[in-house]
Amino acid sequence: MELTAWLNDRLQGRRDVVSQSIEQGTFICTVFYLTGGIDLEMLQTHVLKPLLQPYPGQDEERLSDILDHRSFFPTTYSLTQSPEAALDGLLNGQALLCISGQSKGVLFPFQKKSQRAVTISENEKTIRGPKESFVENIWTNLSLIRQRMKSEKLQVEEFTIGSESRTLVLMLYMAGRCSPDLICTIKEKLQAIQTERVIGSSFLEEALDDRLSSPFPKMLNTERPDVVASALFEGRVSLLTDGTPSNLIAPATLLSFMQSAEDYYQRYFFSSWVRILRYLFFAVSLILPSAYVAITTFHPEMLPYNLLISIASSRDIVPFPAIVEAYIMEVAFELMREAGQRIPTVIGQTISIVGAIVIGDAAVQAGIVSAPMLIIVALTGISSFVVPHFSLTLTVRFLRFVLLCISAMFGLLGLLIGIILLAIHLVSLDSFGTPYLSPFVPFKPKLMRDAAGRFPWTRWMRRSE
């Protein structure tokens, strides 16, 4: 079927599609483009002007110059092999040239897309490292990665996912470093996705997860090009999604979520010390409220006498048991944290800090909660911000409520059972074939140089693997 007639039938009634016909004797062609979606000056200079000029040869020669020799237009262009591909290119913002009697179309990359400039990363800030972050344009993001990776081993494969959204996804990996099984697995899962739309990288993260019942994330999301480049050098795969600045890295382990880009831009002993503190406060954020509730409710004899008297006197006027008190403060803290994120940036932090001080002091003065519980919840909340990646922070916040409930019913025994079940769950998890607790379980001595701490760079450069 002739492409021009097919497009006119499919695009009938659309006001945002412009079509312009050009006739020179028996040579008839039509240019299609989206209103406001292309650079009109480029279209006029490189397409319309050559078509409107008299051609010295026959129409067959001009058609051959366009389709076969590709020497007619003074710009780069591509040919479509099917009407669906031509329509996809048009709706993606390219200018489409249809020639009468031909089933092939000519696409010109004259898209005019609005995008924000490359700015400082808001969620993964560093003091000494680079400040660039990804933007919503996928090709800009790819160029930011290529600036850090000049190797010819970097492979880029394209996928179009979503029957209606037609979202472009790029899969990046280093040939020779990345496992072929990992590449094949991710390819098959991407090709098996059947959906109408892909609204962001979070959709791909869920679609590629084989165990959605687990609260732990299996893919690392980041908005930093240097993090993606480092992961590619390590033999992992990255997925760039058009329309979002947050991109995915697989496989991801628990260790991946405890590492910060700042660790690699400071001296190794500072980085190792901070990373150890990060693990410590990760445990504090997870179990401190549960341990406090379990001890004060079931095992007060474990506390020193003076501390026990102080806690008992502060709770003397509190009308609620410790678990209710803990839930009140935890929910209030979560409320202020969510409100601080939703309120405009200029006043969000101020309101959250002032709200925490005013509400906490008023709650203690009114006898609704005790001062020790307020200290425990505040320390727990601050400790949760030590985790570098927000997706793991959400997991910790959820599990904290679960452990609180178990501890309130069974005391320290319940807390211990909960931790054991959590450890069993983590041991059973894997991310695309990589154990979630690697390199700790199973223990891999060669990978411990960048695990709990970080070895000096000279130790890394001496190794060939």
pLDDT digits over 389-408, tens only? 889 999 999 999 999 999 99
d(Cα 201, Cα 248) in Å, to the nearest integer?
7
Q: Which residues contact 437 (CB under 8 A, 6 or more apart)?
A: 253, 254, 255, 426, 427, 429
d(Cα 18, Cα 418) in Å, to the nearest integer?
63
Give the residue-averaged pLDDT of 401-426.
94
Residue 129: the pLDDT is 83
Give the residue-averaged pLDDT of 273-286.
92
Q: How confident is the model at residue 200 (pLDDT cuts 50, 70, 90)?
A: confident
| 442 residue type, one letter | P
CB 83 within 8 A of CB 1: yes
- b/e sequence 104-119, b meaning 16+ C-beta within 10 Å: bbbbbbbbeeeeeebe
Q: How many CB atoms lie within 10 A of CB 371?
A: 18
Pull the structure tokens for residue 351: 């309101």
Q: What is the CA radius of gyration of the chain?
A: 29
d(Cα 58, Cα 68) in Å, to the nearest integer?
15
Give the residue-averaged pLDDT of 146-168.
90
Q: How many CB atoms lie within 10 A of CB 351?
A: 14
Helices 322-342, 268-298: axis angle to 10 degrees equals 140
d(Cα 208, Cα 149) in Å, to the nearest integer?
26
Residue among 51, 229, 43 at smallest CA distance from 134: 229
The H or E element containing residue 17 is strand 17-24
d(Cα 452, Cα 259) in Å, to the nearest integer?
9
pTM comes to: 0.84
Give the residue-averaged pLDDT of 269-295.
91
Chain centroid to CA 308 = 46
Q: How many CB atoms lie within 10 A of CB 432?
A: 20
Cis? peptide before 251, omega within 30° of 0: yes
Q: How far apart are the first and last CA of the chain?
A: 57
**Residues 58-87 pLDDT 10s:** 888 888 888 888 888 988 899 998 888 898
Q: How many CB atoms lie within 10 A of CB 273?
A: 13
| 241 residue type, one letter | T
Say yes or no to pLDDT of 465 above 60. no
Average pLDDT, the chain: 87
Pull the structure tokens for residue 136: 């919503």
d(Cα 280, Cα 273) in Å, to the nearest integer?
11
Residue 253: the pLDDT is 93
Pull the structure tokens for residue 372: 């020790």
The H or E element containing residue 358 is helix 345-366
Q: Which residues contact 30 (CB under 8 A, 6 or more apart)?
A: 4, 19, 20, 21, 22, 97, 98, 100
Q: Which residues contact 107 (CB under 8 A, 6 or more apart)?
A: 77, 78, 79, 80, 86, 89, 90, 94, 95, 96, 97
In the chain, % helix, strand, coil (3-state, to 5) comes to 50, 15, 35
Give the residue-averaged pLDDT of 33-38.
86
Pull the structure tokens for residue 376: 């425990």
Give the residue-averaged pLDDT of 349-363.
71
DSSP string, 107-151: EE--B----PPP-B-SSS--SSS--B---S-HHHHHHHHHTT---
Residue 464: the pLDDT is 46
Say yes or no to pLDDT of 8 above 50. yes
- Per DSSP, 247 falls in state E
Cis? peptide before 442, omega within 30° of 0: yes
Residue 333: the pLDDT is 83
Which one of 21-25, 121-125, 182-186 scores highest in mean pLDDT? Answer: 182-186
Say yes or no to pLDDT of 269 above 90. no
Helices 305-314, 371-384: axis angle to 10 degrees equals 100
